[in-house]
Structure 1
Amino acid sequence: MTLEEFYKELSYINASRENRTKYANIVLNDMSLLPKLIDILFMVDDKVSCRAAWVLEFVCAKYIYAIVPYLDIFTKNIGKVHLDSSVRPVSKICEHISKAYYSKEPNTIKKTLNPEYRERIIEACFDWMISDQKVAPKAYAMDSLFLFGKDYDWIHPELVQILKQDFPKQSAGFKARARRILQKTKIA
């Protein structure tokens, strides 16, 4: 399938879980589609990029190691994603990556997520935390930042400051996640 054909195919996707799962399985069964999916994802001003983000999130949820060959391009471009419907799944993918990196089990993410890639994810997560984003991207970002704070001493103090500053004006969902992270940073 060419990029144009795959683009057209993605334009028919709706947000249903069933639909996103179906297309994620198509990609997982034909990994030659993954670079095309990532190319479409980073057409950041195009509404179809949101659909690519939904599919990539489901691909990564099922098999996080699919992203490994594309970590450079993914981390270079995540800061450019700006449509709400794309930011949420991209921030979730970052959370999947950070959880895999800090997993107790040896894995490919631990071997390939070099400091440059980690720093790009950290930067994007902080951008989501301080910009006018919805709760979900902020929640995924705070989880990722908490994990990366295990290796970067400066992250937890910065994260705590942002959480305390934003706490009064955020939703119940944000407050619940922030409380959990604030509790963990006291222990950590």
Structure 2
Amino acid sequence: MTKEEVYQLVCQTSIYVDSRHKTLVRLARVKEAYIYLYEFMTNVEDKHHVMASVLFEELIRFDLLKMTSILDDFLMRLDTYANESTKRLISKICRNIVYSKQLKLSKKQKQMLVGQALDWLVSDSKVATEAFAMDIIIRLKGEFAQEFTLAKGIVEKNYVSRSAAYQSKAKKLISA
């Protein structure tokens, strides 16, 4: 399947589980599918970048080693995503990267992840994005104590005015 054919498949896929499943079955047979999807999702001007992000996250969820060749580029682009649906997916991928036993992250890569997680906490992000950001910070707190303390302060300050979902995750960060 060519890059153009993969793009057409992305364009024809709907958010419904059945549609995504059919697309993923076809993409699983395409060796370069995750690279193509990554290229499509980084083109934030294209309206289909959100669907490319959905498919990318689902395709690599169980094999994060596929990210090895694009990991540095992925991390460099974290702040380019403005669409809330995409930010949620990107933050979920970041959380999965941090918790992965497959990927061995460098100090610089971890720093980029923690920095972006802090940005998500102080920006006007949705709760899911913030929850994934808190997971990242909790996981890396031993290596980034100052950032953890900063995140804890942010979360404590916002705690009272936020939703029950936010408060639930915030309790875990505060007590970590």
Taking the aligned partners of 1:144 and 1:93, their CA distance within structure 2 comes to: 10
Q: What does residue 124 of structure 2 align with?
A: 132
Q: Aligned runs of 1:57-72 on 2, under 5 Å?
A: 57-72=57-72
Q: CA RMSD in A?
A: 1.6
Aligned residues with identical type, % of pairs: 23
- The answer to whether structure 1 residue 175 and structure 2 residue 164 are counterparts is no
Q: Aligned runs of 1:68-147 on 2, under 5 Å?
A: 68-100=68-100, 103=101, 107=102, 109-110=103-104, 113-147=105-139
- CA deviation map 1:58-112 (0-9, x unaligned): 1232222221221011111111011111111110000000111xx4xxx3x12xx
AA of the residue aligned to 2:161: K
Tell me how far 1:7 sits from its aligned partner. Answer: 1.9
Taking the aligned partners of 1:181 and 1:18, their CA distance within structure 2 comes to: 36
- CA deviation map 1:41-74 (0-9, x unaligned): 1011222110111111112322222212210111
Task: Assess if the C-alpha contact under 8 Å between 1:142 and 1:181 holds in 2.
Answer: yes
AA of the residue aligned to 2:52: A
Taking the aligned partners of 1:37 and 1:140, their CA distance within structure 2 comes to: 22
AA of the residue aligned to 1:138: E
Q: CA 1:122 to 1:25, structure 2 compared with 1: closer, same or farther past 3 Å?
A: farther
Taking the aligned partners of 2:170 and 2:87, their CA distance within structure 1 comes to: 19
Taking the aligned partners of 2:51 and 2:79, their CA distance within structure 1 comes to: 18
Q: Which runs of 5+ in 2 are unaligned?
A: none
Tell me how far 1:17 sits from its aligned partner. Answer: 3.0
Q: What does residue 2 of structure 1 align with?
A: 2
Greater helix proportion: 1
Tell me how far 1:25 sits from its aligned partner. Answer: 4.0
Using structure 1 for the length normalisation, give the TM-score.
Answer: 0.86
